[in-house]
Amino acid sequence: MRFFSAASCTLTIANTVFAAPSKYGLNRTLRFTDNGTFQLAVFNDLHYGEAENLVWGPQQDVNTTRVTNSVLDNEHPQLVVLNGDLITGENTYKHNSTDYINEIVQPLLERDLLWASTYGNHDSDFNLSRHHILKREQTWPNALTRQDVSTSTSGVSNYWLPVYPSSGNPDTPALLLWFFDPRGGNYYQQTSATTGNSVPQPNWVDQTAVDWFTSTRTHLCSQYGRDVPSLAFVHIPVNAMLAFQQSNNDTGVRPHYEPGINDDDPLAQQGYTEGQGDVTSGSTPVSTYNGEDVPFMQALLDTPNLIAVFSGHDHGDDWCFKWDSQLPGMSLKGNGLDLCFGRHSGYGGYGSWVRGSRQILVTEEMVKGGVVETWVRLETGATSGSVVLNGTYGTDYYPAVPDVQE
């Protein structure tokens, strides 16, 4: 089990404040309930706007909204996370590409739910801008998404949110939520001078975002006098998830110990660039991985009290694993960090697995020990793959998850 430190701050900065701002003057504070619980509903790969000029395209969006409504009729989260690929950017037009945000968030607005987004590779394309998505999101007070890193290479959805305790010190969070932008897709309104094609964007968390993360992490530790337990969200998974999936020493994804569908095998991770072209040189397409996400993975491992990281992107995977070893082909050694996929939530995008949403439940006592309960709520109303991410996860026996497609 990972060791959870009470305080390991190394930098002291007086009067530093890193609080989620409210430009609307409303109370948008995330807080544990009076029962000491905090729940998140994570929707991955919604893919609105696909084939909008064909009959089946808009119907896909109607179906996806049905998924959201079904999940939220069965679950009652304090926060919804839209974890990347909100829109299929390559299928939209410049004049209306961000209008799909209105459709995406309507079920959340109807329930007066707060939400926070990360952006995925399909959220950037010639006619779709991440910055424009953020601007559209922020027209509603329910949106907590913001941009904390503003370099030309950092992406957009890099930020953090505090979750405060149900009682006690109202100024010190009981939990932190980290959000990262792995970029990917194509640059907005850019074409290659030589080919006329769209210009691909790197698909990993940039070094500038990693530097922001490590610096902010230190500042927050200094401000709060301890390393606050945290969860992280990033659309494209890190390479450790592929290394675990591909390991051949009787680890890998075991149906009764890492329950979930495992149909994207091999999965696509940060730095995998097949079909996008070589983003480092602009030359011919490649399908290689060169360790681009190693700095990000190292920063995750170096974060005291980080409990778990949640990703989407690979529609056919929804398992979790405990990274507690040095996996084949990797230089980094895991420290017990849990890495999880969500369920494909949208009818857009590839795959016909039963749609759903990963649920994450923590209590104020659980987070102190680095424990998370998580399951998938399916569109049908059923639950799937319920597990407890604790010190014995990976050795605890669970029912296998049926691989059901529609």
From the number of C-beta atoms within 10 Å of its C-beta (0-12, 13-18, 19+), residue 76 rates as exposed
Q: How confident is the model at residue 278 (pLDDT cuts 50, 70, 90)?
A: very low
Has residue 385 been placed in a domain? yes
φ, ψ of residue 217 to 5 degrees: the values are -55, -45
Give the C-alpha separation, 102 to 75, whole Å.
22
Has residue 338 been placed in a domain? yes
* Tokens coding 78: 């304090």
pLDDT surpasses 70 at 229:
yes
Has residue 286 been placed in a domain? yes
Helix axes 294-301, 239-246, angle to 10 degrees: 90
Q: Find the mean pLDDT for residues 44-58.
A: 94
Alpha helices by DSSP H, 225-341: 239-246, 294-301
pLDDT surpasses 70 at 16:
no
pLDDT surpasses 60 at 56:
yes
Residue 379 sits in a domain whose CATH number is 3.60.21.10
Has residue 95 been placed in a domain? yes
Has residue 22 been placed in a domain? no
Q: What is the pLDDT of residues 189-211, one digit of tens each?
A: 999 999 999 999 999 999 999 99
From the number of C-beta atoms within 10 Å of its C-beta (0-12, 13-18, 19+), residue 77 rates as buried
- Percent pLDDT > 70 in the chain is 90
Residue 256: how many other CB atoms lie within 10 Å: 11
**Mean pLDDT estimate for the chain:** 91
Looking at residue 264, what DSSP letter applies? Answer: S
pLDDT surpasses 90 at 233:
yes
Alpha-carbon distances of 34 from 26, 115, 351, 364, rounded to whole Å? 21, 20, 40, 11
Has residue 204 been placed in a domain? yes
Beta bridge partners of 373: 361, 388
115-118/79-83 β-pairing: parallel
H or E element: which one contains 60? helix 56-74
φ, ψ of residue 305 to 5 degrees: the values are 70, 15
* Tokens coding 91: 């299928």
Are the beta carbons of 372 and 360 closer than 8 angstroms?
A: yes
Q: What's residue 252's pLDDT? A: 86
Q: What's residue 125's pLDDT? A: 97
Q: Which residues contact 29 (CB under 8 A, 6 or more apart)?
A: 20, 164
* Tokens coding 4: 């959870």
Token pair 């360790």 in the structure block, residue: 291
* Tokens coding 131: 């910055």
* Tokens coding 352: 């016909």
Has residue 405 been placed in a domain? no
Q: Find the mean pLDDT for residues 63-72.
A: 98
Q: What is the pLDDT of residues 296-311, one digit of tens each?
A: 999 999 999 999 999 9
Q: What total number of domains does the chain contain? A: 1
* Tokens coding 395: 């050795």
Q: Which of 126, 127, 220, 129 is nearest to 178 (CA)?
A: 220
Q: How confident is the model at residue 275 (pLDDT cuts 50, 70, 90)?
A: low
Q: How confident is the model at residue 251 (pLDDT cuts 50, 70, 90)?
A: confident
Length of the chain measured in residues? 406
Residue 112: how many other CB atoms lie within 10 Å: 8
Instruction: Give yes or no for a cis peptide into 266 (omega within 30° of 0).
Output: yes
**Torsional sign, CA 219, 220, 224, 228:** negative
Q: What is the pLDDT of residues 316-363, one digit of tens each?
A: 999 999 999 999 999 999 999 999 999 999 999 999 999 999 999 999
Q: What's residue 276's pLDDT? A: 45
Q: What's residue 28's pLDDT? A: 87
Q: Which residues contact 101 (CB under 8 A, 6 or more apart)?
A: 86, 87, 133, 136, 137
Q: What's residue 9's pLDDT? A: 66
Q: What is the pLDDT of residues 360-398, one digit of tens each?
A: 999 999 999 999 999 999 999 999 999 999 999 999 999
Domain carrying residue 124: 30-389
- Percent pLDDT > 90 in the chain is 85
Alpha-carbon distances of 197 from 90, 172, 276, rounded to whole Å? 12, 49, 11
Q: How far out from the chain centre does Cα 173 lie?
A: 21
* Tokens coding 101: 């945000």
pLDDT surpasses 60 at 25:
no
* Tokens coding 288: 């290689």
pLDDT surpasses 80 at 61:
yes
Q: How confident is the model at residue 26 (pLDDT cuts 50, 70, 90)?
A: low
Are the beta carbons of 320 and 374 closer than 8 angstroms?
A: yes
Q: Find the mean pLDDT for residues 94-112.
A: 96
Q: How confident is the model at residue 140 (pLDDT cuts 50, 70, 90)?
A: very high
Has residue 65 been placed in a domain? yes
